Homo-oligomer: A and B are copies of this chain.
Amino acid sequence: MQDPTHYPARMTGSNSGTASYRRLDVTRRRAQLIRAALGLFAHRPPEDVSLDDVAVAAEVSRPLVYRYFPGGKTQLYEAALGSAAAELTECFAVPQEGPLTVRLAAALDRYLAFVDEHDAGFSALLRSGSVVATSRTGAIVDGVRRSAAGHILTHLRVPEPGVRLRMAVRTWITAVEGASLTWLDEGKQPAVEELRDWLVDHFVALLLATAARDGQTARVAAAALALEPAEGAVASLARRTVELLTEAEHLLPSP
């Protein structure tokens, strides 16, 4: 025998259940329209997407799209962006275990898959002077950046980051965004795995450069380096960098 309370209200036969069923239906319908819109905004500049297109893509009538989004395309675009932002925010929520570079690579894999999948929409939104950017979309994008910075500082186990460490993390996030746009401009060259590894190297290089002038960052970097494997990304970067520096004989003291 199954306990009906274990089922969503829509599965029960009660009157309140019917109301819940309708509410659930509204939520689902809304999500369906947002999904359809996001699919269109991902591959065309927003000015080339009409509510008609969304209705066709979602296989519903145009009035229905307007009923759900009476504010028209702007409201639908912001809703689609909000949904995309929620997905992007999740990218950096990777488990707090293992070497930092492995965690960053996992986060970047998700982030870059999103960029790849939503290329035109990503460009259109973040291009300077974008026609679709408003103070509201700007706030959504900034929310994603802040959340990503928060996640990274949590991975670094820094509850009270100083200005230099905060600036390093925020600057790297800007750099990831800029590199993603350049990558799209360059016809998605080099391969996404190389871009990911290069962005991880960039993080390590920036963390070490910042550590060279800031005690807090130096402690954080030392703790992070201790977790890196002897044959991992950091070891490889370190060896190749020291080789380059050693070739310019005058820069490093002889061992």
Which residues of B have CB within 8 Å of A230? 250-251
Question: Is A174 an interface position by the 8 A CB rule?
Answer: yes
A202-B171, A237-B209 are contacts. A163–B189 as well, Cβ < 8 Å?
yes
| Distance of A178 Cα from B174 Cα, bound (Å) | 6
Bound-state CA distance A74–B247 (Å) is 54
Question: How many chain A residues touch the partner (CB < 8 A)?
Answer: 72
CB closest chain-B residue, reference A127 = B138
Report chain B residues within 8 Å CB of A64: none
- With contacts A206-B202, A213-B194 known, is A171 near B163, CB below 8 A? no
Residue A235, interface by CB 8 Å: yes
A242 contact set on B, CB distance < 8 A = 242, 245, 252
Contacts A141-B128, A230-B251, A239-B253 hold; do A177 and B179 have CB atoms under 8 A apart?
A: no
Minimum CB–CB distance from A227 to chain B (whole Å) comes to 9
A2-34: CB near B (< 8 Å → 1, else 0) gives 000000000000000000000000000000000
Given contacts A129-B135, A175-B178, A247-B222, contact A210 B198 (CB under 8 A): yes
- Minimum CB–CB distance from A171 to chain B (whole Å) comes to 5
Q: Smallest CB–CB gap between A169 and chain B, Å?
A: 10
CA distance A1 to B39 in the complex (A): 76
Q: Which residue in chain B gives the minimum CB-CB distance to A212?
A: B240
Chain B min CB distance to A175 (Å) = 4
Minimal beta-carbon separation of A48 from chain B (angstroms): 15
Q: Are B171 and A178 in contact (CB under 8 A)?
A: yes
Residues of B with C-beta under 8 A to A183: 167
Is the CB–CB distance between B198 and A170 below 8 Å?
Answer: no
Subset of 22 A-B contacts with CB under 8 Å: A128-B133, A129-B134, A163-B186, A163-B190, A167-B186, A170-B178, A170-B179, A172-B175, A174-B175, A174-B177, A178-B178, A194-B213, A198-B209, A202-B206, A225-B245, A226-B248, A228-B248, A230-B251, A235-B252, A238-B252, A239-B252, A241-B241
Which 10 A-B pairs have CB atoms at the shortest separation, nearest pair first?
A129-B138, A174-B178, A255-B255, A225-B248, A205-B205, A212-B240, A205-B209, A128-B138, A201-B209, A230-B250
User: What 10 additional pairs, Cβ within 8 angstroms, besides A129-B138, A163-B186, A167-B183?
Assistant: A129-B136, A129-B139, A133-B133, A171-B202, A212-B244, A222-B247, A225-B251, A230-B250, A235-B251, A239-B253
